Amino acid sequence: MKQKVYPSKIIATAKSINVTKLPWILYIDKKLLPTCGGIYFIGTDQEPTAYIGQAGSLKTRFIGHHRKTAFEQLVDECGQKDVKIRYWQAPLMPKSELVLFLSQLESYLIENSKTRFNYTANSLPKTPFQSRHRTYYGPIYVQLNKLGEYYVPKSSDGTSGFYFSLEKIHMAENAIKYHSPTFIISSGTWKDALYEYENNLESEWKQYSTLYFLEVKFQARWINYVGQGGMEDYVLSGNQATFYRIFLNEHPGFKEFSIKYLRTGLTNCSKSDFCETLLNLTR
C-alpha cells in the first residue's frame, strides 16, 4: 500500500506535541472539556494514547461518542482516577482550514502511535493474552442480566433457567441441541451490588463503574413456554445448575470478552478464549 504523504506543517506540529505534558481532565469529568477544537488523547499515565481523536469542539465531541463503550471499559479496567483525556488546542484558523488540518494531524498521529482503540496496523493487540488450549469445543452461551433481575431459581431437582426473548429462539434451540454450558452474568453499579449482596463485597471493587458477577452455570436442556393473558414468556432451562458469585472484572481477558459478547440477552460466546476461564471457574 502506498504510504500517505503529509504536509510538513502537519509533521512538525505532530512532533511538537508532548502528550504527557498536555492539559488533561479525568474521563469521568469530560463535560468540563473546553469548547475549542483540537486533538484529544484518551488513556492512562502508563498508556496515554489508548485512543487518539480530533474534534472541532472538544466539549461536544463526547456527546454520543462511537467509542463510548470502549472508554467505559477502560475506566472499569483501570479505575475512574486513572483514565484521562489529554488535549491539544488547535491554533485559530478559518473553519474550512481547521477541519482539514485536524483530520490530517489526527491521521498522522494515529499512524505513528501505539493505540488500542483506533484499530490501525500499529494498534496494540486487541486481546492481551494468547489463545489457549480449549477443553470444550461445542457452543457456549451467556446471558447478561442486571443485578437483582429475576431469573428462574434452582429447584430441588437441580434445574435452573432464565427468560429470553422470542428473537433469540434459534440460539436457545441450538443450546438445547448440544446441551451447551450456559452462564448467567449479572452487572450493575457498586450500589446495585451492595443492595444485592449487602456487605459481601471487596472495597477495591468501588473503582469500577460497572461490576460483573458470574451467577449461574447450567446445561441447557429444554424451553418452557409460560403463557398468560395472551402473552408468552420463554424460559431456557437446564440441569446440573450451580450458583456462584464470582467477581469477573479482574480476570485477564474479561474486558475484551465483555465488549464483544456481553449484550443484554442470550449470546453465543463460543469463539472467545475467555470461555475457558468461565469453564475453569465453575468446574
The dihedral through the CA atoms of 12, 15, 20, 26 has a sign that is positive
d(CA 88, CA 58): 10
Q: Which residues contact 223 (CB under 8 A, 6 or more apart)?
A: 169, 172, 173, 176, 234, 235, 236, 237
**150 and 104 in one domain?**
no
3-state percent helix, strand, coil for the chain, nearest multiple of 5: 30, 30, 40
Residues 167, 47 share a domain: no
pLDDT above 50 (res 177): yes
* One domain for residues 22 and 146: no
Domain annotation covers residue 132? no
Residue pointed to by grid coordinates 482503540 = 117
Whether 145 and 75 share a structural domain? no
**Domain co-membership, 159 together with 253:** yes
The answer to whether position 131 is within a domain reads no
Quick check: is 161 in a domain?
A: yes
**pLDDT for residue 130:** 44
> Minimum mean pLDDT among 63-72, 85-94, 222-231: which range?
222-231
* Mean pLDDT of the 246-255 span: 90
The answer on pLDDT for 223 being more than 90 is no
Residues 148 and 277 in one domain: yes
Q: Please give the residue range of the domain that contains residue 227.
A: 141-281
CB 175 within 8 Å of CB 139: yes
Query: What φ, ψ does residue 23 adopt, rounded to 5°?
Result: -65, 150
Residue type, 202: E
- Domain co-membership, 196 together with 155: yes
The pLDDT, as a whole number, for residue 161 is: 77
Per-residue pLDDT, 124: 60
pTM: 0.53
- Strands of the 160-164 sheet, one edge to the other: 160-164, 231-247, 211-228, 181-188, 141-146, 265-268
> Is the residue at 92 inside a domain?
yes
Residue 123 lies in a domain: no
Decide if 94 is inside a domain.
yes
Weakest-pLDDT range from 45-54, 64-73, 118-127, 248-257:
118-127
The answer on 192 and 86 residing in a single domain is: no
In a domain, 118, yes or no: no
Question: Grid coordinates representing 214?
Answer: 458470574
Residue 98 sits in a domain whose CATH number is: 3.40.1440
Residue scoring higher pLDDT (243 or 19): 19
**Distance from C-alpha of 11 to C-alpha of 15, rounded to nearest angstrom:** 6
120 part of a folded domain: no
Where in 98-178 does DSSP place strands (E)?
141-146, 160-164
Number of domains the chain is built from: 2
Contact in structure between 238 and 159 (CB atoms under 8 Å)? yes
Q: Convert the pLDDT of each residue in 261-283 to its tens digit.
A: 887 678 888 888 899 899 999 88
CB crowding 171-207: b at 16 or more within 10 Å, else e: bbeebbeeebbbbbbbbbebebbbebeeeebeeeeeb
Q: Are residues 78 and 147 in the same domain?
A: no
Q: Which three cell numbers stand for residue 229?
A: 393473558
